Amino acid sequence: MKPKISLQTRLEYDAVAKGLADEGVVEGSMFGMPCLKIEKKMLAGLFGDAMTFKLPPGPREEALKLTGAEAFDPGMGRPMKEWVVIPLEHAATWPKYAEQALAFVRP
């Protein structure tokens, strides 16, 4: 079962998506969740009241130090090594991590 997404989380996510639109980032769906992609490569997504990001090692380790942040496991029992989930309480950091994720996955 997918976790529910609150209105506040959706508004914060929409702001991140809008901020990246000029970079060629589009909204889509992957693993049954809303996500952000560039040229079919996923860089971020929504998971309940949190946002997930595909990050290189340095920013990923920094993000994991945030309260409540953890390696992202989409429900398969095995965390995805480059992905981190950052809860809504740190939404102010989402644009920064979205930019870093974009730089990491951009072809």
CA 91 to chain CA centroid, Å, is 11
What would the pLDDT profile of 28-70 be if each residue is shown by its tens digit?
998 788 999 999 999 999 999 999 999 999 999 999 999 999 9
Please state the three-class secondary structure of 9-44 as a single string: HHHHHHHHHHHHHHHCCEEEEECCEEEEEECCEEEE
The rounded mean pLDDT for the chain is 93
For 7-105, CATH number out of 3.90.1150, 2.40.128, 3.30.70, 1.10.3470 equals 3.90.1150
**Rg of the Cα atoms in the chain:** 12
The yes-or-no verdict on residue 80 having pLDDT over 60 is: yes
Query: What is the reported pTM?
Result: 0.93
Please report which confidence band the pLDDT of residue 79 belongs to, taking 50, 70 and 90 as the band edges: confident
Q: Which carries the bigger pLDDT value, residue 2 or residue 76?
A: 76
Q: Given this model, what pLDDT does residue 1 score?
A: 56
Domain boundaries, the chain: 7-105
